[in-house]
A and B are shown apart, each in its own frame.
Chain A
Amino acid sequence: QQQVKQSPQSLIVQKGGISIINCAYENTAFDYFPWYQQFPGKGPALLIAIRPDVSEKKEGRFTISFNKSAKQFSLHIMDSQPGDSATYFCAASLSGGYQKVTFGTGTKLQVIP
């Protein structure tokens, strides 16, 4: 049973444009929502994360928007650059303890010049 649904599967954006990736979750007990970035041949690395007590978190060109009532959250990449080309995974978990994380299926982003 997939508990985190991610879309789109792939995304092509022109340099300077806005990339938007969406995720929806089912378990209302989740209280930690990270986004991981993965470059080819590398392991995923934490990009940005949010807790459900805030509706938005911004770090540089990356912003998470969170809608608790809709059980949805999204990643926005402003002024997208070719170096942002990677696979992005959303995830959800219960913080603390052993923290079993449920990942989305990933979005392959390509930013073209």
Chain B
Amino acid sequence: NAGVTQTPKFQVLKTGQSMTLQCAQDMNHNSMYWYRQDPGMGLRLIYYSASEGTTDKGEVPNGYNVSRLNKREFSLRLESAAPSQTSVYFCASRAPAYNEQFFGPGTRLTVL
């Protein structure tokens, strides 16, 4: 039982490049989330998915897109990376009827 896994762990992009951050969970959770973590800003919600087939914007969605590929996988795409998207990205999932969110180990992204 791996919990929530994220790939890659580290990534360096040049401005304008695109990439997809992958997230998968093996806990059969319905809800999944993407956060970014910046110094002094805490965790800010980018997008979330309440269940397979649905996605909604969070607090800071601009510049990102998401895909809930199936119940296990929730990917985050940067179409044209900008230096302001340099951050640590966390994926999380939550089971129905429980309030605890389970976080992945994060992806550290640097945009030059």
* B111 close to A (CB within 8 Å): no
Count of A-B contacts with CB under 8 A? 56
Give the Cβ gap from A52 to chain B, nearest Cβ, in Å: 13
Pairs A-B, 7 closest by C-beta atoms:
A43-B103, A98-B50, A105-B42, A103-B43, A103-B42, A46-B100, A32-B99
Once the chains are docked, how many angstroms separate the CA of A105 from the CA of B106?
17
Q: Taking A45-B103, A101-B45, A106-B42 as given, write out 7 further A-B residue pairs in contact, using a Cβ cutoff of 8 Å, ordered by the A residue number.
A: A32-B99, A44-B90, A98-B50, A99-B31, A100-B45, A100-B48, A105-B42
Contact assessment for B40 and A43 in the assembled complex, using a CB-CB cutoff below 8 Å: no
Contacting residues, chain B, for A96 (C-beta < 8 A): 97
Mask of A39-78 contacts with B, CB within 8 angstroms, 1/0: 0011111100100000000000000000000000000000
Residue from B42, B48, B100, B106 in contact with A104 in the complex, judged by beta carbons closer than 8 Å: B42
A104 to B99, CA, bound (A): 17
Q: Interface SS of chain A: helix, strand, loop or mixed?
A: loop
Q: Chain B residues near A105 (CB, 8 Å)?
A: 40-42
A: interface residue count bin: 20 to 34
